[in-house]
A = this chain, B = another copy of it.
């Protein structure tokens, strides 16, 4: 087992990564604030892991809530189901929520914890590659609004993250690929050595080889933890973690949440960011080819959906959270491994990029 720490002063917390962690959950859980616990999970994950988690909570007043599975349920309505369960079961401010599942369960449960009685504790047990490398780390929580992804939310750090790599053995191909999009992102924004490693180990990763996945998760969490520790509330550098996400969020919202997986949309979005970076004079054609090749090798789309127009993108991108007043801000690559956040790019280049990258 690897243990990382996210260094955020009194809000610091550990990330445990390894095989067989669910079986030793009782020993890994931090001291809880009170006796009440609500485990929130979904219909896919509950039959696989809920019993294991519940048996580790012997001695607590623990119960569970099973949500429908899918990004289309990451809404205020689903959030309200969690509040209702907590209130019906008379959970006090000393309760602890446990998010058992992928990014949707983590984001919505974390936000329920941030806002129930103005804030209670929560613990992340991410069960997908995407959530193990990305959404369970860093304290971003929230739900979608029909007009924009993650538009409602809070920064709320978990008390611990427990990433059992054994959970990935049951992960469908498509979701594994979606998780690899974020792994690749860490290489592209910050670490070309890691990018090399991903390229060399792609077939092991896609073959669910646990040692390779374990290293990819550890290195991804390390990079994310470093960036988050430097800028917890995204006043500056943290925004580089959104490489490809502004384009990707536009795709997800336009196609309807749950149609394109988040990682798939980010895959295509990272190609768009790279192409725009080239048009702005930063990247070479070889850099673009390399970026496309690794994203394609991960089993991800390298272009947006055929039915999306330039204006569809621009309309959606105008409400991105990184924007200042009404100016679109994007993460571009000055070089592979060196990302920058900027409003300083040519609108014509942006439009040309959207054209180039539509399938």
Q: Hey, which chain B residues are within 8 Å of A167, CB to CB?
A: none
- Interface: A193 (CB within 8 A): no
Chain A interface size range:
35 or more
Selecting from A23-31, A63-71, A111-119, A281-289, the interface stretch reads: A111-119
Over the window 318-347 of chain A, the binary record of Cβ atoms lying under 8 Å from chain B Cβ atoms (1 yes, 0 no) is 110111111000000000000000000000
**Quick check: B142 and A118 within 8 Å, CB to CB?**
yes
Query: If A154-B114, A154-B115 touch, does A92 touch B326 (CB 8 Å cutoff)?
Result: yes
Which residues of A136-161 have CB atoms within 8 Å of chain B's CB atoms? 140, 142, 145, 147-148, 151-155
Selecting from A83-91, A125-133, A302-310, the interface stretch reads: A83-91
- Interface: A174 (CB within 8 A): no
Residue of chain B at shortest CB distance from A111: B115
- Interface: A206 (CB within 8 A): no
**Quick check: B116 and A151 within 8 Å, CB to CB?**
yes
Query: If A93-B321, A119-B155, A324-B34 touch, does A147 touch B88 (CB 8 Å cutoff)?
Result: yes
Which among B80, B87, B118, B152 is the interface contact of A153 at CB below 8 angstroms? Answer: B118
Q: Hey, which chain B residues are within 8 Å of A325, CB to CB?
A: 34-36, 61, 92, 94
Docked complex Cα distance between A84 and B83 (Å): 22
Q: Taking beta carbons and an 8 Å cutoff, which residues of A are in contact with B?
A: 34-36, 61, 76, 80, 83-84, 87-88, 90, 92-94, 114-119, 140, 142, 145, 147-148, 151-155, 233-234, 318-319, 321-326
A83-B145, A119-B154 given; 4 more Cβ-contact pairs under 8 Å: A83-B151, A92-B325, A115-B115, A118-B153
